Amino acid sequence: MWIVGFNIVGYRRKGCRSNNLCVLRSMWKNFTLGVHTICDKEYIFTMATEGETFGKLLSGTEIAKEIRASLATEVAELSKQIPNYKPGLAIVQVGGREDSNVYIRMKIKAAQEIGIEAVHVKLPKSITETELLMKLEKLNNDPNVHGIIVQMPLDSDNPIDAHLITDAVKPEKDVDGLNTINEGKVAVGDLTGFLPCTPNGVMELIKRSGIKIAGSNAVVLGRSKIVGTPASELLKWHHATVTVCHSKTKNLDQEISRADILVVAVGVPQMVKGHWIKRGAVVIDCGINSIRDPSKKSGSRLVGDVAFEEAKEVASYITPVPGGVGPLTVAMLMKNTVLSAQRAAKKLLNTTWNLRLLPITPATPVPRDIVIARAQEPKNISQLANEIGLLPSEVHLYGDKKAKVNLSVLKRLELQKPGKFVVVAGITPTPLGEGKSTTTIGLVQALAAHKQKNAFACVRQPSQGPTFGIKGGAAGGGYSQVIPMDEFNLHLTGDIHAVTAANNLLAAQIDARIFHEATQNDKGLFDRLVPAKNGKRSFSKIQVRRLQRLGINKTSPEDLTEEEQRKFARLDIDPKSVTWQRVVDTNDRFLRKITIGQSPSEKGHTRETGFAMTVASEIMAILALAENLEDMKQRLGKIVVAVDKQGQPVCADDLGATGAMAILLKDAIQPTLMQSLEGTPVLVHCGPFANIAHGCSSVIADKVALKLVGPEGFVVTEAGFGSDIGMEKFFNIKCRSSGLVPNLVVLVASVRALKMHGNGHPVVPGIPLHDDYVHENIELVKKGLPNLQQHIQNCIKFGVPVVVAINKFSSDTAAELKVIKEAALSCGAASAVVCNHWAEGGLGAADLADSVIQQTCHPTGNMRFLYDLTIPLEEKINIIAQQMYGAGNVELSPHVQKMLQTYTEQGYHNLPICMAKTSNSLTGDPSIKGAPKGFTLKVNDVFISVGAGFVVTVVGEISRLPGLGVRPNIYDMDLDTETEEIEGLF
């Protein structure tokens, strides 16, 4: 830089305390050398440098244009990473002030240029504070909205606290930076939140001037919440020495004259004069004021808080008004919105959980399940939901330990790649169970807590029948269980009760319709089905669907002929053909067969029917197989309950019950979020029994979990009982319906079960085990191995690798476990692992977790179904019996043969088979153990579940409503009325 001479740049009267100068025009940027007195004036001498001028404009318009272009590139990149992904901005306006409209149009235009989806939420002046808060809460919970701004001032007829409103916007969506949390972050130097837009724009302008902020003297004139205060904080955290001035500041001109950086935001037109400003200072004028100007057509013009014409003679850089800070404010708003969308996208792309685990300290001997469960304090379920990536809007709390998960999560994560899918099945169990649910939970605890993998367990909801009967609940056990286990086993979120209500509503409608058709003539029946409302008759939506099925293409009741009215009104149900039963979630044997209609008011319309367990209802199967609400409703409408007197199926839609049942089930379709003993996530949903239904938890739970764990995570789901029934139906029914392909089968075996299949003494609940089961007996184990081998072969037939989990009991010996492991490997298992998760929690299943990780690292694609849907129903039955059970042939009763022919004629021959068979044997006889071959399997009954999408064939005596034993679990149960704790559950 060349020194070219001295300049006199200004003067003041001698002795004057003010720094006010009479500024002389100069074309040089000057560095002050000193003050010299000539006559009565002090002249300021500076050294001039060549080539630099004063009053260079900091154009916010140009900088904003650059920023918008850069943001557009970033948005395009986001769309490449996540197809169809767009940042979303909601601009909330109360009333219709024209100045606000101008600002909003400007923001929307900028958003459109960048690729932001901006929505103008225009609310009436009559809105109340409560209504506005509710609207903001909806926007807070909308995953497609990444930024929310509330246009100020609020033009409302009602009193609304503006501060309350800005604080109601979630900090992570507060792109204006006005929420107290974001303001507080700026105050303490945490710049990770959203910076307020105007101050952020101010900082951008200062940086563009090239001045070194660190060490500079900065003066901020104005201390408003929106501009002055946050601007001073930002300058401070950029290491400037900051002075905040305001209306009470003494010697304001002197304070300003010391500023290397001057930020003005007072709202007073042209308040700051040029001679107040230090030569070479950077001046940022945030003011925008309208003043009278007769020379303008409008009669006014916009000016800032700084006297621009004077100031530009001494400032090195200065912002114009308009065109300075204003465009940058909008640009920074857009920048914050894109940043918010990027953060949301990062969460979508980075699925690693921040799981806070619950420590366990296993005791020896292992205490009762309820004691272990009560000793562990579960996390608040909203905390767990946050840890696994669920949004608050996707979680509906039922207290603080369980919550429903909204199906909207599937839409939000529709582009997310799913995780690894593992199904847990078992060998033929003893009546005590071999720990399949315990293994499911233990494996997930091992994966999540000890192998640092995202891992979910998907399990069925237990029925109250076995809970109060003999078998007990299904929360797992020992140190591998779902907590709180009492809530898990009792009511939970009421899904089973909802199924009961929907099922029995349909049953009531069937009998009511039969009764009314028998007691009314055609016209009276039609008039009651289509009553006049306000003098006009019309069909409901479900009635229009019935007309369409009948081929009547009319929409007005008045247009139907008498014959069409009769066809519409009369279902002509054959009472003897009604297959739909009422259900109850209690083991009540005396309801298995009942006579209804015995009241005199039923006028002799009696018939025999019965009850089944709620979990045996077709509605439970529908809930477990449905993809979403619409799919569920469609399936409900297809339920066939009887045939008419011409032999044609009558469905729930004909009875007008579809919508009502869907209403009862609208919450039940959402899976319930709970947690394991170690704080890992569990989805509990549906509970169809495997011996009388398809025995799997829901498709929805699996799909939600698979999305949440991400491509490197694991979902472990369970199939009921042994591979012969639960797993077979998992593949042939559930996987066929859902399209999901499992990566691996984990087959649970135990020394106890194999000893039983080796012809050990009977295992009876409530009776102590024989010595065979508590002392080493290798020969007995070897005799039972064919059962294990059959189940391994069952798994392999589906083309999916199998890992055998040998669930260790305290009485098992190393030699017995070794025999099982060697046998499993010799007949095709990919690996066999001894597990002790019941006694040790997830750590006891760590080796199993390692094996699961290793076996699922290979791509899937080899899964195959056991049969093709196009083959005859009888052939499907034969394939299942021969390949899964080891049967030689199948014997169909005459009734079954007739019904299979009827179903074929009705077009149901392409449905899969759901075999209702005992879980206690590979045969149809529960007393036969081991793995017999060549036996005859007798099928003595069949019925159809059109809504669920399968044909149920019944083998042997399968009770759809178990009874209570001599000493059910209820004898041990009690309620402590002081503590409200449940006693004796397990």
Contact of 716 with 444, CB cutoff 8 Å? yes
Phi, psi for 878 (deg, rounded to 5): -65, -40
Annotation marks residue 523 as catalytic: no
Which residues, 6 or more positions from 126, have their beta carbon under 8 angstroms from its beta carbon? 156, 157, 158
pLDDT per residue over 877-931, tens digit each? Answer: 999 999 999 999 999 999 999 999 999 999 999 999 999 999 999 999 999 999 9
Residue 176 bears catalytic tag: yes
Q: What is the DSSP string of 534-577?
A: TTEE---HHHHHHHHHTT-----GGG--HHHHHHHH---B-GGG
Contacting residues for 59 by C-beta, under 8 A, at least 6 apart: 320, 323, 324
Q: Note the pTM of the prediction, 2 decimals.
A: 0.86
The DSSP bridge pattern shows strands 282-285 and 217-221 to be: unpaired
- Helix and strand numbers (H, E) in the chain are 34, 41
CB 23 within 8 A of CB 46: no
Give the Å distances, CA to CA, from 787 to 529, 752, 777, 781, 884: 58, 13, 17, 11, 11
Measured CA to CA, the distance from residue 341 to residue 173 in angstroms comes to 9
* Residue 692: predicted pLDDT: 81
End-to-end CA distance of the chain: 88
CA distance 136 to 149: 10
* Options 176, 305, 369, 702, the catalytic residue: 176
Q: What pLDDT, on a 0 to 100 scale, did the predictor assign at position 765? A: 76
Q: How far apart are CA 44 and CA 11, in angstroms?
A: 6
Q: Using DSSP, state whether 279 is helix, strand or coil.
A: coil
Pick the catalytic residue from 93, 135, 151, 724.
151
Look up tokens 């699922």; give the residue. 856
CA distance 476 to 460: 11
pLDDT value at residue 29? 37
What's the token pair of residue 636?
Answer: 């409900």
The Cα-based distances of 655 to 506, 572, 639 in angstroms read: 8, 11, 10
Query: What's the pLDDT score for residue 247?
Result: 86
209, 317 Cβ separation under 8 angstroms: yes
How many other C-beta atoms can be found within 10 angstroms of the C-beta atom of residue 559?
A: 9
Q: Which residues make beta-bridge pairs with 290?
A: 302
| Tokens matching residue 126 | 């009559």
Q: How far is CA 730 from CA 143, 693, 699, 722, 886, in A?
A: 33, 11, 10, 11, 19
- Cα 541 to Cα 545, 641, 657, distances in angstroms: 7, 21, 12
Active-site residue among 107, 404, 821, 929?
A: 107
Cα distance between residue 482 and residue 441, in whole Å: 7
DSSP state of 440: H
CA distances from 100 to 266, 268, 269, 335, 960 (A): 20, 21, 21, 21, 67
CA distance linking residue 749 with residue 439, whole number of Å: 10
Q: What are the φ/ψ torsions at residue 979 (nearest 5 degrees)?
A: -95, -15
What pLDDT, in 10s, does the model give residues 579-613?
Answer: 999 999 998 899 999 999 999 998 889 999 999 99
Compute the distance between CA of residue 286 and CA of residue 304 in angstroms, rounded to an integer: 7
Stretches where the chain sits below pLDDT 70 are 1-53, 469-474, 860-861, 986
Catalytic-residue membership of 670: no
Secondary structure of residue 232 in the 3-state scheme: helix
